[in-house]
Chain A
Amino acid sequence: MAEIRYLAPRTLDEAVGAFAAAQGAARILAGGTDLLVQMRNGLAKPGLIVDIKKIAEMTEIAELPDGGFRIGAAVSGAMLAEHPRFGQVWPGVLEAVNLIGSKQVQGRASPGGNLCNASPAGDSVPAMIAAGAVVTVQGPEGRRQMPVEAVPAGPGRTNLRPGEIVVGFTLPPRPAGSGDAYLRMIPRTEMDIAVVGLGVSLTLAGGTVTHARVGLGAVAPTVLLVEEAGNALLGSRLEEAALDAAAAACRAACRPINDKRGTIAYRTKVAGVLLKRAVAIAAQRAQGGN
Chain B
Amino acid sequence: MSKMHVTTTINGEPTEFLCDPDRSLLDVLRNTLGLTGTKEGCGTGDCGACSVTVDGRLVCACLMLAVEAGGCEIGTIEGMAQGGELHPLQQKFLEMAALQCGICTPGVLVAAKALLEKNPDPTETEVRFGLAGNLCRCTGYDKIVRAVLDTAAEMREAVQ
Contact = CB atoms under 8 A, between A and B. Distances in A.
Interface of A: 1, 3-6, 8, 29, 31-33, 36-37, 39-40, 49, 51, 53, 76, 78, 101-105, 107-108, 189-191
A6 B4 contact: yes
Contact of A105 (B20, B63, B115): B63
A49 B65 contact: yes
Mostly, the B contact residues are mixed
A104 B44 contact: no
B58 A107 contact: yes
Using C-beta atoms within 8 Å of the partner chain, give the interface range for chain B.
20 to 34
B68 interface: yes
Interface stretch (B8-16, B28-36, B45-53, B75-83): B45-53
A108 B51 CA distance: 12
Contact of B48 (A31, A51, A102): A102
10 contacts: A4-B21, A6-B67, A8-B67, A32-B65, A33-B60, A51-B65, A53-B68, A102-B48, A103-B58, A103-B133
Contacts of B130: 103
Contacts of A37: 43-45, 63
Interface pairs A-B: 10 shortest CB-CB: A102-B133, A190-B132, A6-B21, A107-B57, A104-B60, A104-B133, A107-B59, A37-B44, A4-B22, A6-B67
Contact of A108 (B43, B63, B111): B63
B22 to A, nearest CB: 5
B64 A108 contact: yes
A247 to B, nearest CB: 29
